[in-house]
């Protein structure tokens, strides 16, 4: 790597992958602060970064406590969308009949705004965790299905023929060829899905809940407590980033052979 050979320690630090987004973030925060000072934006419209940090500091225990239900609902919803999305994609990709019956309806269902039907889940399942999980699941489900279908369908038919000609059973061929081939696409779907699941959980908390970050946001907007609202946004963003990072790590473990991961493999020859 060129970075590794770079002479100065500072430029090495500046080139590290994690520093770059951090620097950009610092730049945005500074610009935000400057804009408020320059244009005299009142605090009830946009709070200053300092105020948000202050709230994060003082209310940290409370915010942390409220972020658990959101995290929990997000993870449950996400796992459900993976658990159902991948088999549904297998069926859609494997059978023309299933595809023609199910796929158009699935696409149709995506044009229904989830936020509009979320109150329905509250009516059905009360104010507990279930409506949040369902809402997170509904948002996370579709990207998994779409990506996985594409992954399963893009396998080279010659490769499948080759395995079938060796008398491999349908199941064996699927496990040896189709499934590993679809993994990169499945993971790109899972990455989109996990961030959308956060949104889904918050939507669930918006419409009817007495806990969670969504609830905190709802409450603080009602009292014009913008610093708390922004602090909640920061927590949500962090939650999304952490979950995304976890899925990304798992991907590296599961498909180390894929093109997108190759720079990590030391080229021996």
Partner 1 sequence: MTPLSKATDISQPAAHLRLVSDRAGGATPGIKLSGVSKTYRSRDGDVPSLRPLDFTINDGEFFVVVGPSGCGKSTLLKMISGLLPPTTGEVLVDGEKVTKPHGNVGIVFQNALLLPWRNILSNVMLPIDMKGLARDKYLARAKELLKLVGLEGFEKKLPWQLSGGMQQRASICRALVHDPKIMLMDEPFGALDAMTRERMNVELMRIQRETGKTVLLITHSIPEAVFLADRVLVMTERPGAIAAIYDVPLPRPRSLDTMSDPVFTEMVARIRKHFFTQGTLD
Backbone angles phi, psi at 253, to 5 degrees: -70, -40
Smaller CB separation from partner 1, 190 or 232: 190
Nearest to 91 by CA among 106, 77, 76: 106
SS3 1: coil
> Of 190, 268, 185, 196, nearest to 236 (Cα)?
196
Q: Is 258 in the site for partner 1 (CB under 8 A)?
A: yes
| Contacting partner 1 within 169-208 (CB under 8 A) | 172-173, 176-177, 180-181
Least CB distance from residue 256 to partner 1, whole Å?
A: 8
* Minimum CB distance to partner 1 smaller for 181 or for 252: 181
Q: What is the nearest approach in angstroms of partner 1 to the Cβ of residue 170?
A: 11
Q: Which of 159, 219, 234, 240 binds partner 1 (CB under 8 A)?
A: 159
Does 158 contact partner 1 by CB under 8 A?
Answer: yes
Sequence-distant (≥ 6) Cβ neighbours of residue 204 within 8 angstroms: 73, 118, 121, 131, 132, 133, 134, 135, 136, 214
Task: Find the shortest distance in angstroms from Cβ 81 to partner 1.
Answer: 25
Task: List all residues 6 or more positions away from 256 whose beta carbon is below 8 Å from its beta carbon.
Answer: 264, 265
* CA atoms of 154 and 70, how far apart (whole Å): 36
From residue 118 to residue 157, what is the string marking binding to partner 1 with x (rule CB under 8 A)?
--------------------------------------x-
**Closer of 142 and 187 to partner 1 (Cβ):** 187
Does the protein bind partner 1 through residue 166 (CB under 8 A)?
A: yes
b (16+ CB within 10 A) / e for 70-93: bbbbbbbbbbbbbeebbebbbebb
- Which stretch, 101-109, 129-137, 140-148, 252-260, contacts partner 1 (CB under 8 A)? 252-260
Q: Is 253 in the site for partner 1 (CB under 8 A)?
A: no
Q: What is the DSSP letter of 46?
A: S
Q: How far apart are CA 230 and CA 246, in angstroms?
A: 24
Contact residues for partner 1 (CB under 8 A)?
156, 158-159, 161-168, 172-173, 176-177, 180-181, 255, 257-259, 262, 265, 267-269
């Amino acid at each position: 790597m060129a970075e590794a050979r770079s002479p100065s320690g500072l430029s090495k630090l500046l080139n590290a992958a994690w520093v770059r987004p951090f620097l950009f973030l610092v730049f945005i925060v500074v610009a935000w602060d400057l804009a408020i000072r320059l244009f005299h934006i009142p605090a009830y419209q946009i709070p200053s970064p300092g105020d948000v940090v202050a709230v994060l500091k003082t209310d940290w225990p409370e915010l942390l406590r409220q972020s658990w239900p959101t995290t929990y609902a997000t993870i449950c919803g996400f796992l459900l969308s993976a658990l159902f999305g991948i088999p549904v994609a297998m069926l859609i990709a494997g059978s023309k009949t299933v595809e023609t019956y199910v796929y158009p309806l699935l696409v149709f269902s995506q044009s229904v705004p989830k936020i509009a039907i979320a109150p329905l889940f509250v009516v059905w399942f009360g104010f507990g965790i279930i409506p949040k999980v369902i809402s997170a699941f509904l948002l996370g489900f579709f990207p998994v299905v779409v990506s996985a279908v594409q992954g399963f369908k893009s396998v080279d038919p010659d490769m499948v023929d080759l395995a079938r000609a060796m008398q491999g059973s349908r199941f064996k061929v699927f496990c040896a060829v189709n499934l590993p081939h679809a993994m990169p696409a499945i993971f790109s779907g899972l990455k989109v899905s996990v961030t959308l699941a956060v949104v889904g959980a918050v939507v669930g908390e918006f419409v009817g809940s007495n806990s969670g970050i969504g609830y905190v946001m709802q409450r603080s907007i009602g009292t014009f407590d913008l610093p708390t609202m922004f602090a909640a946004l920061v927590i949500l963003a962090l939650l999304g980033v952490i979950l995304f990072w976890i899925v990304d790590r798992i991907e590296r473990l599961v498909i180390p052979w894929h093109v997108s991961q190759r720079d990590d493999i030391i080229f021996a020859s």
